[in-house]
Chain A
Amino acid sequence: MSNDVSTRPADDLRGSRRRAHPLVGYVMARLGISVLLLWGITVVTFVLTNLVPADPLAAVLGDQAAADPQIVAEYRRQMGLDDPLPLQYWHYLVRLLHGDLGTSPQTRHPVAVDLAGAFPATAELATAVLVVSVLLGVGLGLLAALRHRRFTDQVIRVVSLLGVSTPMFWLSLVVFYVFFFRLRWLPGSGRLDATLTPPPHVTGFYTIDGALAGQWSIVANASLHLVLPALVLTLYIAGLLVRFTRSAVLDVLAEPYVTAARARGLAPRQVTFGYVLRGALLPILTMVGLAFGSLLSGAVLTEQIFAWNGLGQYAYLAATKLDLPAIMGVGIVVGVTYITINFLVDLVTGLVDPRVRLG
């Protein structure tokens, strides 16, 4: 891929700048930024959860115990809450680097254990949504751009705009009501029927674990449970991607090299896939990375209705109960995931497009 790309739109105009491995510098720079961002996230979560005016003690200890100064003082001493903030942060960071995210006062489990249980649930949902949304979103966006201002384009535009305008929490409710409560076509809550036991834990994805264990009934059931929440999220994410793909492709269509390719007599299909889609691929890829953030946000709302015990539900419980270690844990996990995905996107972008890594 990286060999023939130099004869393509992403032509390396600075070929004279010979260095041993330009990619190494680029990767190191991106990696450095990612690490910096990760550190920043620990600071942001720490500051946010510590400078808040509300006192979490009442939420942790209960009102009665929180009224007893002796209990409060003892608790504060035990948790190191009397130390100066920078020191508290330092302790927090050291524990974090050892994989210790603290213990949730709410669930009384280590936060890391809670998160390890919740993460695969959301990841499975997110993966399903992302795969379908990318296929649907990029396909329809490309189609809309090629049929610019014609009927197909208008229809796709309206549908995608409605998709990004629909409140996900409401759509979840509607879908839940219609397909589960009224029609009984699809399961509406949880990841598996209550009568089934989850497959042996390998990846935490019930569909994959079920397949690995050869329990096909589990795979089928878990897939059915995925349909409704994934449908709601897909409408939004695919809508985002359609809109973005459409304008990215329209931009590329206006490029002279596309006109040149057509003038050379290449078949429309060759032009579309070899030149247009290829030229638009990198901005689309970047957008997919960013859309992941919206996906996680959407999951918070959707998981509430479909009783999907993933990160979103955990975050919601943690936030409403002022469970600080859990909130910080969710912040870290979500931040790390988001940064990792965007680092990978940057990496692929740099690999494919010399303008990015040298510019």
Chain B
Amino acid sequence: MSDVLERPGRWTRRLAPRGERSPWRQPLAVLGAVVLVVWLLVAALAPLLAPFDPLEQSGDRLAAPGGAHLLGTDSLGRDVLSRVVFGSRLSIPVAVALVVGCLVVGAVLGALAGYLGGWVDEVVMRVADMVLAFPTIILAMVVAAALGPSLVNAVIAILLVNWPQYARVTRSLVLGAKTREYVVAGRLLGAGPWTSLRRDILPNVAAPVLVLATLDVGSAILVLSGLSFLGLGTVPPTPEWGSMVADGVQQFDAWWIGTSAGLAILSVVAAVNFVGDALRDALDPHTRSTVAGRAL
């Protein structure tokens, strides 16, 4: 913000030097990264950091914050801070695993659809459209309810409804890349279709897809905790942020239960989004139209 004179005018954004888009020029991205690192440390060191066992009654029921229990206790006398700390061990890795799963399934199907074209493309994209026509949470609710509430089933449910967006983006990127000169040159030099797809195309479309995945970790945490909030994700007594918010609904006067868990979710998701946003700006200013829009 200090270099007013060097700041690109509002009409000449594209002419900005590369360094202008560096994520480290954006204080929010740095803040997000710091928060994220803190949460990762909290998750890694949870047993050392948590003052109490998250599953054991360690104080009076519904004790207000203060004293031995910094964030108070819940209706079973369990320490809220410890439960929030241990909740990070669940929400963050599961969300990452979920996004990786969606990424692999979606990218493989999307790449095949884009590269092979023809009926493969038609089938994959029509199935993707059908899945996309359902709001995520309703389909996830049906799957989670049918398979029974558990974390694994919630993950399966969200995986089923979330892969199409990766398929779409990958497909459109592959479509754009496969007629590029370097790909054609590779084919002329004797590379078979698989080699071409693997060596020439995929590395060149990876960046935007990875940015999408980063941003998606935030929404994965939101959806997962949403399902747990509805009672369709983790089962008690597992410390999980979404179900802690649900506890907060039950114990209305004990505002600290829901507030702590909610702020935990908010801070992680916001941190992920700040970082993802900066990455997107830095890596690929053109991603936007392919990521968020449908192929018209």
Chain A residues close to B by CB (< 8 Å):
33, 36-37, 40-41, 43-45, 48-49, 52-54, 146-149, 154, 157-158, 161-162, 164-171, 173-174, 177, 181, 244, 247-248, 250-251, 253-254, 258-259, 262, 283, 286-287, 290, 293-294, 296-297, 300-301, 304-305, 315-316, 319-320, 322, 327, 330-331, 334-335, 338-339, 346, 349, 356, 359
Query: Do A164 and B273 touch (CB < 8 A)?
Result: yes
Chain A residue nearest to B149 in the complex (CB)? A320
Q: A44-B134, A244-B292, A296-B138 are in contact. Are A170 and B258 (CB under 8 A)?
A: yes
Chain B residues close to A by CB (< 8 Å):
7-8, 10-11, 13-14, 28, 126-127, 129-139, 141-148, 218, 222, 225-226, 229-232, 242, 245, 248-249, 252, 255, 258-259, 261-262, 265-266, 269-270, 272-274, 277, 288-289, 292-294, 296
Q: Chain A contacts of B218 at CB under 8 A?
A: 164-165
Query: Do A36 and B126 touch (CB < 8 A)?
Result: yes
Q: Chain B contacts of A338 at CB under 8 A?
A: 133-135
Chain A residue nearest to B266 in the complex (CB)? A166
Q: A167-B245, A259-B11 are in contact. Are A49 and B129 (CB under 8 A)?
A: no
Query: Do B130 and A169 touch (CB < 8 A)?
Result: no
5 A-B contacts (beta carbon < 8 Å): A167-B229, A254-B14, A300-B138, A304-B230, A349-B296
Which of B133, B259, B296 is in CB contact (< 8 Å) with A339? B133
Measured CA separation A150–B264 after assembly (Å): 30
Q: Known A-B contacts: A147-B10, A173-B245, A248-B288. Give 11 more (CB < 8 A).
A: A37-B126, A44-B134, A158-B28, A167-B262, A169-B226, A171-B262, A247-B288, A293-B136, A296-B138, A320-B145, A331-B138
Which of B28, B142, B269 is in CB contact (< 8 Å) with A167? B269
Chain B residue nearest to A289 in the complex (CB)? B294
Q: A296-B135, A331-B138, A349-B296 are in contact. Are A165 and B146 (CB under 8 A)?
A: no
Q: Chain A contacts of B146 at CB under 8 A?
A: 48-49, 52-54, 322
Measured CA separation A250–B273 after assembly (Å): 19
CB distance from B296 to the nearest CB of A (A): 5
CB distance from B215 to the nearest CB of A (A): 10
CB distance from A164 to the nearest CB of B (A): 7
Query: Do A44 and B231 touch (CB < 8 A)?
Result: no
Measured CA separation A13–B120 after assembly (Å): 31
Chain A residue nearest to B262 in the complex (CB)? A170
